[in-house]
Amino acid sequence: MFEGVLPAIITPFKRNEHLAVDLEGLRSNVEFLVSQGVHGIVPCGSTGESATLTFSEHEKVIETTIDTVNGKVPVLAGTGSNNTAEAITLTKAAKNLGADGVLVISPYYNKPNRSGLIKHYTKLADLDIPVVMYNVPGRTGQNLSADWVIELAKYPNIVGIKEASQGYCGSGDAGITQVSRIIEGTRDEDFKVLSGDDGLTFPILALGGIGVISVAANVEPARMVAMYDYYQKGQINKARDIHYQLSPLFRAMFIDTNPIPVKKAVELRGMAGGPPRLPLDELDKDKTAQLQKVLHTYD
């Protein structure tokens, strides 16, 4: 169900005192992405600033996304927390709203031990909704190791992982080596690996991954879809060419903390964006000029 190019969408905010969620802007953004052929939508992830959304806003963003998509593509809603009880509440809400599955970041700050982590994910899986784990140790401070992922892959309703461990400097494997180890260890399971790093999508597809939960697809959805489609058709050289065409954009999305650059990029493209909420601040003047230079290459 969750394969291909799934944009991790921004949450647009109005430029007012409270930075209220711009629900009409959200609808417009989602309609545009679906019209460009994306294979799914991921609201309320890290790119959607879930950490600064209230529970009420979180539910409203998911509800609006599901209503706008109207069954055209799957909706994989972010419902993670470092508090299992909160993650359960958010996951139940997403299920009741009609989400097709949930994306659950591994608990941040707490650094749970193995048994606690297993219980965290299996309690969510017991809610009878497909769960995609999300490993991003650069944000959580703890790598969700390949061995733990392989163990969790055996549980019903734990259907895949978004892997974004590239660059992690902790102990053990990370990045492409870890992706390979996970795919190797889950080939007998109905378990899928999605890239969580746009720049690694092409090599992860080569290893047997089935798509990407993408930041760059907010900005260049059609090109991201074309890269994936060419790969699936066996036109590897064409897919590789698009990978290199998009590589400057992949890098530009991280000239500052995500989603600061992508929110500015969509605004520069005329879409709903708005500033990020504190403690994140807007992209500065020099980096905005750098981003504009990259965007102009895709005009």
Catalytic residues: 134, 162
- Residues with Cβ within 8 Å of residue 55, at least 6 apart in sequence: 89, 90, 93
Count how many residues are written for the chain: 299
Residue 278's nearest CA partner among 29, 49, 5, 36 is 49
How crowded is the C-beta side of 215, counted as CA atoms within 13 Å?
A: 28
How many Å separate Cα 169 from the centre of its chain?
21
Residue 22's nearest CA partner among 263, 265, 269 is 263
C-alpha to C-alpha distance for 134 and 143, rounded to whole angstroms:
10
Residue 193's nearest CA partner among 178, 208, 206, 203 is 208
Containing H/E element for 105?
Answer: strand 101-105
CB 4 within 8 A of CB 39: yes
CB 247 within 8 A of CB 33: no
- Residues with Cβ within 8 Å of residue 253, at least 6 apart in sequence: 198, 215, 216, 219, 261, 262, 265
Containing H/E element for 131?
Answer: strand 131-135
- Residues with Cβ within 8 Å of residue 292, at least 6 apart in sequence: 268
